[in-house]
Structure 1
Amino acid sequence: MPTEPQRRLIDPERVTAALAGLGERETVQQWADRFSVIADPSRLTLLVCIHYAREICVSDLAVAAGMSDTAVSQALRLLRAHGLVTSERRGRVVYYKLADETMHELIHHVRPHSAAE
Protein backbone atom coordinates (compact mmCIF):
# COMPACT_ATOMS: atom_id res chain seq x y z
CA MET A 1 0.00 0.00 0.00
CA PRO A 2 1.49 3.38 -1.00
CA THR A 3 2.14 5.87 1.76
CA GLU A 4 0.81 9.40 1.65
CA PRO A 5 3.50 11.94 0.77
CA GLN A 6 4.71 14.24 3.53
CA ARG A 7 2.82 17.54 3.50
CA ARG A 8 4.52 20.84 4.14
CA LEU A 9 3.08 22.89 7.00
CA ILE A 10 3.63 26.62 7.10
CA ASP A 11 1.76 27.32 10.36
CA PRO A 12 0.85 24.18 12.33
CA GLU A 13 -1.14 26.22 14.89
CA ARG A 14 -3.50 27.44 12.15
CA VAL A 15 -3.92 23.89 10.87
CA THR A 16 -4.77 22.75 14.39
CA ALA A 17 -7.28 25.60 14.79
CA ALA A 18 -8.85 24.80 11.40
CA LEU A 19 -9.23 21.11 12.31
CA ALA A 20 -10.70 21.96 15.71
CA GLY A 21 -13.23 24.28 14.09
CA LEU A 22 -14.10 21.73 11.43
CA GLY A 23 -15.01 19.08 13.98
CA GLU A 24 -16.30 15.71 12.90
CA ARG A 25 -16.54 15.09 9.15
CA GLU A 26 -19.92 13.46 9.74
CA THR A 27 -21.25 16.77 11.12
CA VAL A 28 -20.04 18.59 8.01
CA GLN A 29 -21.90 16.04 5.86
CA GLN A 30 -25.07 16.50 7.93
CA TRP A 31 -24.90 20.26 7.42
CA ALA A 32 -24.25 19.81 3.70
CA ASP A 33 -27.39 17.64 3.55
CA ARG A 34 -29.40 20.29 5.42
CA PHE A 35 -28.18 23.02 3.08
CA SER A 36 -29.11 20.95 0.04
CA VAL A 37 -32.66 20.63 1.40
CA ILE A 38 -33.07 24.35 2.07
CA ALA A 39 -31.42 25.34 -1.23
CA ASP A 40 -34.77 24.78 -2.96
CA PRO A 41 -36.61 28.14 -3.21
CA SER A 42 -40.01 26.61 -2.30
CA ARG A 43 -38.70 24.89 0.81
CA LEU A 44 -36.76 27.98 1.86
CA THR A 45 -39.93 30.04 1.38
CA LEU A 46 -41.79 27.67 3.69
CA LEU A 47 -39.06 27.86 6.32
CA VAL A 48 -39.06 31.66 6.24
CA CYS A 49 -42.87 31.76 6.49
CA ILE A 50 -42.83 29.32 9.41
CA HIS A 51 -40.11 31.36 11.10
CA TYR A 52 -42.12 34.59 10.98
CA ALA A 53 -45.43 32.91 11.86
CA ARG A 54 -43.73 31.00 14.73
CA GLU A 55 -46.13 28.13 13.99
CA ILE A 56 -48.62 27.64 11.18
CA CYS A 57 -50.90 25.00 9.69
CA VAL A 58 -50.57 23.63 6.14
CA SER A 59 -53.51 25.52 4.60
CA ASP A 60 -52.39 28.88 6.06
CA LEU A 61 -48.79 28.16 5.05
CA ALA A 62 -49.93 27.36 1.49
CA VAL A 63 -51.66 30.75 1.25
CA ALA A 64 -48.66 32.60 2.68
CA ALA A 65 -46.21 30.80 0.36
CA GLY A 66 -48.42 30.94 -2.74
CA MET A 67 -48.34 27.16 -3.11
CA SER A 68 -50.90 24.36 -3.18
CA ASP A 69 -51.69 22.45 0.01
CA THR A 70 -50.33 19.29 -1.64
CA ALA A 71 -47.00 20.91 -2.57
CA VAL A 72 -46.66 22.31 0.95
CA SER A 73 -47.43 18.93 2.53
CA GLN A 74 -44.84 17.18 0.36
CA ALA A 75 -42.20 19.78 1.17
CA LEU A 76 -43.01 19.64 4.89
CA ARG A 77 -42.57 15.85 4.84
CA LEU A 78 -39.04 16.33 3.52
CA LEU A 79 -38.28 19.15 5.96
CA ARG A 80 -39.47 16.96 8.86
CA ALA A 81 -37.41 14.02 7.64
CA HIS A 82 -34.31 16.23 7.77
CA GLY A 83 -35.16 17.55 11.23
CA LEU A 84 -35.79 21.12 10.10
CA VAL A 85 -39.41 21.39 11.25
CA THR A 86 -41.57 19.71 13.87
CA SER A 87 -45.31 19.31 14.02
CA GLU A 88 -47.96 19.33 16.71
CA ARG A 89 -51.51 18.13 16.24
CA ARG A 90 -54.29 20.11 17.91
CA GLY A 91 -57.56 18.42 17.23
CA ARG A 92 -57.81 18.06 13.47
CA VAL A 93 -55.21 20.71 12.66
CA VAL A 94 -51.44 20.12 12.51
CA TYR A 95 -49.19 23.09 13.22
CA TYR A 96 -45.59 23.30 12.04
CA LYS A 97 -42.69 25.18 13.58
CA LEU A 98 -38.94 25.30 13.11
CA ALA A 99 -37.19 22.47 14.88
CA ASP A 100 -34.36 24.40 16.45
CA GLU A 101 -32.80 27.77 17.14
CA THR A 102 -30.12 27.19 14.53
CA MET A 103 -32.65 27.51 11.71
CA HIS A 104 -34.07 30.70 13.28
CA GLU A 105 -30.57 32.18 13.39
CA LEU A 106 -29.83 31.15 9.82
CA ILE A 107 -33.00 32.83 8.57
CA HIS A 108 -32.06 36.00 10.48
CA HIS A 109 -28.78 36.02 8.56
CA VAL A 110 -30.50 35.40 5.23
CA ARG A 111 -33.34 37.86 5.84
CA PRO A 112 -32.69 40.02 8.90
CA HIS A 113 -35.57 41.65 10.75
CA SER A 114 -36.17 45.29 10.00
CA ALA A 115 -36.49 47.76 12.84
CA ALA A 116 -40.31 47.63 12.50
CA GLU A 117 -40.47 43.82 13.00
Structure 2
Amino acid sequence: MHLVPADRAGRRAIDGHRVCDAVAAIGEPGHVRAWADRFSLLADAKRLALLLALHRTEPLAVSDLALATGMNDPAASQALRLLRAAGVVEREKDGRVVRYRVVDAEVRGLLAHCAAAEAGG
Protein backbone atom coordinates (compact mmCIF):
# COMPACT_ATOMS: atom_id res chain seq x y z
CA MET A 1 0.00 0.00 0.00
CA HIS A 2 2.66 2.41 -1.11
CA LEU A 3 0.25 5.21 -2.09
CA VAL A 4 -1.51 5.43 1.27
CA PRO A 5 -0.45 8.61 3.11
CA ALA A 6 1.77 8.03 6.13
CA ASP A 7 -0.94 9.14 8.59
CA ARG A 8 -3.13 6.23 7.38
CA ALA A 9 -0.43 3.61 6.70
CA GLY A 10 -1.07 1.64 9.90
CA ARG A 11 -4.77 1.10 9.20
CA ARG A 12 -6.08 -2.29 8.12
CA ALA A 13 -6.94 -2.84 4.45
CA ILE A 14 -8.87 -5.72 2.93
CA ASP A 15 -7.72 -5.18 -0.66
CA GLY A 16 -4.53 -3.15 -0.38
CA HIS A 17 -3.92 -2.95 -4.14
CA ARG A 18 -7.41 -1.53 -4.64
CA VAL A 19 -6.77 1.02 -1.91
CA CYS A 20 -3.70 2.17 -3.84
CA ASP A 21 -5.76 2.36 -7.03
CA ALA A 22 -8.40 4.39 -5.16
CA VAL A 23 -5.77 6.79 -3.76
CA ALA A 24 -4.35 7.24 -7.27
CA ALA A 25 -7.85 7.85 -8.67
CA ILE A 26 -8.56 10.52 -6.08
CA GLY A 27 -5.37 12.39 -6.92
CA GLU A 28 -4.12 15.56 -5.33
CA PRO A 29 -6.32 17.18 -2.67
CA GLY A 30 -6.08 20.54 -4.44
CA HIS A 31 -7.43 19.03 -7.64
CA VAL A 32 -10.32 17.41 -5.75
CA ARG A 33 -11.07 20.73 -4.04
CA ALA A 34 -11.11 22.56 -7.40
CA TRP A 35 -13.64 20.08 -8.80
CA ALA A 36 -15.76 20.29 -5.64
CA ASP A 37 -15.79 24.08 -6.02
CA ARG A 38 -16.89 23.75 -9.66
CA PHE A 39 -19.66 21.36 -8.70
CA SER A 40 -20.83 23.72 -5.94
CA LEU A 41 -21.18 26.49 -8.56
CA LEU A 42 -23.25 24.14 -10.72
CA ALA A 43 -25.35 22.92 -7.79
CA ASP A 44 -27.50 26.06 -7.86
CA ALA A 45 -30.31 25.65 -10.42
CA LYS A 46 -30.34 29.33 -11.43
CA ARG A 47 -26.56 29.47 -11.99
CA LEU A 48 -26.73 26.22 -13.93
CA ALA A 49 -29.56 27.64 -16.05
CA LEU A 50 -27.45 30.71 -16.82
CA LEU A 51 -24.52 28.53 -17.82
CA LEU A 52 -26.64 26.24 -19.99
CA ALA A 53 -28.08 29.27 -21.77
CA LEU A 54 -24.60 30.68 -22.34
CA HIS A 55 -23.31 27.33 -23.50
CA ARG A 56 -25.90 27.30 -26.27
CA THR A 57 -25.99 30.98 -27.28
CA GLU A 58 -22.99 32.91 -25.99
CA PRO A 59 -22.29 35.71 -25.75
CA LEU A 60 -25.52 36.90 -24.21
CA ALA A 61 -26.48 40.12 -22.43
CA VAL A 62 -27.39 40.07 -18.75
CA SER A 63 -30.98 41.21 -19.33
CA ASP A 64 -31.44 38.54 -22.02
CA LEU A 65 -30.05 35.88 -19.68
CA ALA A 66 -32.41 37.06 -16.94
CA LEU A 67 -35.35 36.86 -19.34
CA ALA A 68 -34.36 33.39 -20.58
CA THR A 69 -33.91 31.98 -17.06
CA GLY A 70 -36.84 33.70 -15.37
CA MET A 71 -34.56 35.64 -13.05
CA ASN A 72 -34.69 39.36 -12.43
CA ASP A 73 -31.75 41.42 -13.71
CA PRO A 74 -30.10 42.02 -10.31
CA ALA A 75 -30.24 38.31 -9.40
CA ALA A 76 -28.77 37.33 -12.77
CA SER A 77 -26.04 39.95 -12.38
CA GLN A 78 -25.17 38.69 -8.91
CA ALA A 79 -24.97 35.07 -10.08
CA LEU A 80 -22.83 36.09 -13.06
CA ARG A 81 -20.52 38.08 -10.75
CA LEU A 82 -20.00 34.93 -8.69
CA LEU A 83 -19.33 32.84 -11.81
CA ARG A 84 -16.92 35.50 -13.10
CA ALA A 85 -15.05 35.62 -9.78
CA ALA A 86 -14.63 31.84 -10.03
CA GLY A 87 -13.21 32.16 -13.54
CA VAL A 88 -16.09 30.29 -15.17
CA VAL A 89 -17.38 33.17 -17.31
CA GLU A 90 -15.98 36.39 -18.74
CA ARG A 91 -17.80 39.56 -19.60
CA GLU A 92 -17.55 41.75 -22.67
CA LYS A 93 -18.66 45.37 -22.48
CA ASP A 94 -20.22 47.03 -25.50
CA GLY A 95 -21.12 50.50 -24.30
CA ARG A 96 -23.71 49.96 -21.57
CA VAL A 97 -24.42 46.37 -22.61
CA VAL A 98 -22.52 43.59 -20.85
CA ARG A 99 -22.45 40.17 -22.45
CA TYR A 100 -21.12 36.98 -20.88
CA ARG A 101 -19.55 33.79 -22.20
CA VAL A 102 -18.25 30.57 -20.63
CA VAL A 103 -14.45 30.39 -20.53
CA ASP A 104 -13.73 27.47 -18.17
CA ALA A 105 -12.97 24.48 -20.41
CA GLU A 106 -13.88 21.88 -17.78
CA VAL A 107 -17.23 23.53 -17.07
CA ARG A 108 -17.82 23.80 -20.81
CA GLY A 109 -17.31 20.01 -21.04
CA LEU A 110 -19.77 19.41 -18.20
CA LEU A 111 -22.32 21.66 -19.88
CA ALA A 112 -21.91 19.81 -23.16
CA HIS A 113 -22.53 16.57 -21.32
CA CYS A 114 -25.67 18.01 -19.66
CA ALA A 115 -26.96 19.31 -22.98
CA ALA A 116 -26.30 15.96 -24.69
CA ALA A 117 -28.03 14.06 -21.89
CA GLU A 118 -31.06 16.37 -22.14
CA ALA A 119 -31.24 15.95 -25.91
CA GLY A 120 -30.97 12.19 -25.65
CA GLY A 121 -33.37 11.58 -22.86
Contact kept, 8 Å, 2:38 with 2:107, in 1: the verdict is: no
Is 1:95 the counterpart of 2:99? The answer is: yes
Q: Give unmatched runs, 5+ long, in structure 1.
A: none
Is 1:45 the counterpart of 2:55? The answer is: no
- Aligned residue pairs: how many? 113
Deviation at 1:69, TM superposition (A): 0.9
Q: TM-score, normalised by structure 1?
A: 0.81
Which aligned pairs between 1:1-117 and structure 2 lie closer than 5 A? 6-112=10-116, 114=119
RMSD (Å), alpha carbons: 2.2
Q: Give the whole-Å Cα distance in 1 for the aligned partners of 2:78 and 2:39.
A: 18
The secondary structure found in structure 1 opposite 2:106 is helix
Identity rate, percent: 48
Query: In the superposition, relative to structure 1, how do residues 4 and 30 fare at CA in structure 2: closer, same or farther (>3 Å)?
Result: closer
Deviation at 1:50, TM superposition (A): 0.7
Q: TM-score, normalised by structure 2?
A: 0.78
Between Structure 1 and Structure 2, which shows a larger proportion of helix residues?
2
Deviation string 1:33-86 (CA, Å, 9 cap, x unpaired) is 221222111111111111111211101111111111111001101111112111
Q: Give the whole-Å Cα distance in 2 for the aligned partners of 1:5 and 1:89.
A: 54
Q: Give the whole-Å Cα distance in 2 for the aligned partners of 1:5 and 1:65.
A: 50
The secondary structure found in structure 2 opposite 1:9 is coil
Q: Give the whole-Å Cα distance in 2 for the aligned partners of 1:114 and 1:32.
A: 26
Q: Give the whole-Å Cα distance in 1 for the aligned partners of 2:13 and 2:20.
A: 11
